[in-house]
């Protein structure tokens, strides 16, 4: 079949027609349990009534004005995120990559405004993923995403994940402006950074006047049971945070959170965006935050995450020939497989369960946050049945 879409994706042959809650239905009416949620985007599942109402109400009022006019929903959402986090300012974007670009600009500008004009270095960790723009692939430590796109932007460098000696050397480099890290690596294999490492990193950054940027594009928005993952960790707040994916619940939207200090180089005209913070996105963004901060919502995420943990442990215990490890936190989880999980993903889809994959042979599970314990048991059952079939096939 010919396809006019630039051939950068390899979509599965299934065509989805509609979604409701944690389920999606294909064009033949077959239901699927959605345990990837548009890669951690549909935080409240499909067509959540609160989001549908917020979006359609706003669609009947006003779509776009540009940031040359005040957007009341934007000011309200900024204030709400500031009240809930370390931040003093929020800036709204349209995507994760745009949030990363903005964080890098703000960090470099902070040093520039203090007269440290040569401080442009950005340090990242191997296995990290920070989006597909030139800044994003320069920040990201995976060479395959940079291949053919010219040299890495000046100042960007990476060190191995978990190499404390390399970090202690790199943090002292006089041109270093900021360190960027995913508190839970998503694409790299759903790996949680140990709490003491985030705390240690915060301390090192403070000692050397380096800003700390968290990429919580995937692990934020309530996914690990806190509004932002780092809120689990004491004394490890960042100076800047990039968000996107789940905070828009499926409406394209990103956000930068900044401390007052980190933003000290920013002023009128220094940065901007056409679509970011527009009325439609802000209506949905406020509605997502209403639900996620609602009574008992994050407690329920943590409870269901416990059921998921148990289910994954039992899979690992019963199929050690297939599962090497379980990784991640909350509802951002990985089953690290002994073999490439891509064929397995297809088999699970045939059985009505949608999952993703990530680096390091990881099968990625990121269901909508509204998932119930019964949904989780159903998903684990489907994986169990598939594993049992694989073991029988291997034994025969």
Ligand X SMILES: *Cc1c(COP(=O)(O)O)cnc(C)c1O
Residues that bind ligand X (CB under 6 A): 95-97, 100, 129-131, 182, 186, 215, 217-218, 244-245
Please state the closest distance from residue 340 (CB atom) to ligand X, in A: 21
| 297 contacts: CB under 8 Å, gap ≥ 6 | 222, 291, 369
Where do the H-state alpha helices sit in 114-221?
Answer: 134-139, 164-170, 195-208
Residue of minimal CB distance from ligand X?
Answer: 96
Nearer to ligand X, 146 or 316 (CB): 146
Please state the closest distance from residue 270 (CB atom) to ligand X, in A: 22
Where do the H-state alpha helices sit in the chain?
Answer: 37-40, 49-59, 72-84, 96-113, 134-139, 164-170, 195-208, 279-292, 297-318, 342-350, 373-395
CA dist 325 and 108 (Å) reads 39
Please state the closest distance from residue 134 (CB atom) to ligand X, in A: 12
For the sheet with 89-93, list strands across it.
Answer: 89-93, 254-258, 240-243, 211-215, 176-181, 121-125, 156-159
* Cβ contact 221:253 at 8 Å: no
Nearer to ligand X, 100 or 236 (CB): 100
Nearer to ligand X, 186 or 249 (CB): 186
Please state the closest distance from residue 192 (CB atom) to ligand X, in A: 13
CA dist 226 and 274 (Å) reads 30
Please state the closest distance from residue 212 (CB atom) to ligand X, in A: 15
Cα–Cα distance list, 95 to 49, 126, 211 (Å): 23, 22, 22
**Alpha-carbon torsion angle 26, 30, 34, 37, nearest 10:** 10
* Cβ contact 177:197 at 8 Å: no
| 288 contacts: CB under 8 Å, gap ≥ 6 | 43, 44, 51, 221, 246, 247, 248, 249
Nearer to ligand X, 92 or 129 (CB): 129
Nearer to ligand X, 73 or 254 (CB): 254
Please state the closest distance from residue 260 (CB atom) to ligand X, in A: 25
Query: Which two structure tokens, joined as six digits, stand for 24?
Result: 């999606």
Please state the closest distance from residue 351 (CB atom) to ligand X, in A: 26
Nearer to ligand X, 44 or 380 (CB): 44
Nearer to ligand X, 9 or 69 (CB): 9
Nearer to ligand X, 136 or 225 (CB): 136
CA dist 254 and 215 (Å) reads 11
Query: Beta strand pairing status for 176-181 and 16-20?
Result: unpaired
Nearer to ligand X, 51 or 100 (CB): 100
Q: 32 by DSSP, 3-state: which?
A: strand
């Amino acid at each position: 079949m010919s396809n006019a879409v630039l051939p950068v994706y390899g979509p599965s042959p299934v065509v989805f027609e509609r979604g409701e809650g944690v389920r999606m239905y294909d064009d033949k009416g077959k239901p699927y349990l959605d345990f990837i949620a548009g890669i951690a985007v549909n935080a409240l599942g499909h067509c959540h009534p609160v989001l549908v109402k917020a979006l359609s109400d706003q669609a009947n009022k006003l779509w776009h004005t540009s940031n040359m006019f005040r957007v009341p929903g934007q000011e309200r959402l900024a204030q709400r995120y500031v009240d809930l986090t370390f931040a003093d300012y929020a800036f709204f974007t349209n995507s994760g990559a745009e949030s990363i670009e903005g964080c890098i600009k703000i960090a470099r500008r902070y040093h520039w405004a203090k007269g440290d004009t040569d401080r442009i270095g950005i340090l990242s960790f191997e296995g990290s993923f920070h989006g597909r723009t030139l800044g994003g692939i320069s920040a990201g430590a995976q060479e395959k995403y940079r291949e053919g796109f010219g040299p890495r932007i000046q100042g960007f460098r990476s060190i191995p994940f978990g190499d404390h000696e390399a970090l202690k050397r790199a943090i002292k480099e006089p041109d270093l402006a900021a360190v960027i890290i995913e508190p839970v690596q998503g694409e790299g294999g759903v790996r949680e950074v140990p709490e003491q490492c985030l705390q240690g990193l915060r301390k090192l950054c403070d000692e050397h006047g380096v800003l700390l940027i968290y990429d919580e594009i995937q692990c934020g928005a309530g996914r690990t049971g806190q509004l932002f993952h780092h809120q689990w960790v004491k004394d490890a707040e960042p100076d800047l945070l990039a968000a996107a994916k789940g905070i828009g619940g499926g409406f394209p939207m990103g956000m930068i959170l900044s401390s007052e200090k980190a933003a000290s180089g920013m002023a009128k005209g220094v940065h901007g965006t056409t679509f970011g913070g527009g009325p439609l996105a802000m209506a949905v963004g406020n509605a997502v935050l209403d639900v996620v901060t609602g009574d008992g919502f994050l407690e329920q995420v943590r409870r269901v995450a416990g059921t998921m943990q148990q289910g994954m442990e039992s899979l690992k215990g019963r199929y050690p020939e297939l599962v090497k490890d379980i990784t991640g936190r909350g509802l951002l989880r990985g089953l690290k497989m002994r073999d490439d999980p891509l064929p397995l993903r297809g088999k699970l889809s045939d059985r009505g369960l949608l999952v993703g994959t990530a680096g390091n042979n990881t099968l990625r599970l990121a269901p909508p946050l509204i998932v119930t314990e019964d949904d989780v048991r159903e998903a684990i059952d489907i994986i169990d049945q598939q594993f049992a079939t694989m073991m029988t096939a291997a034994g025969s």
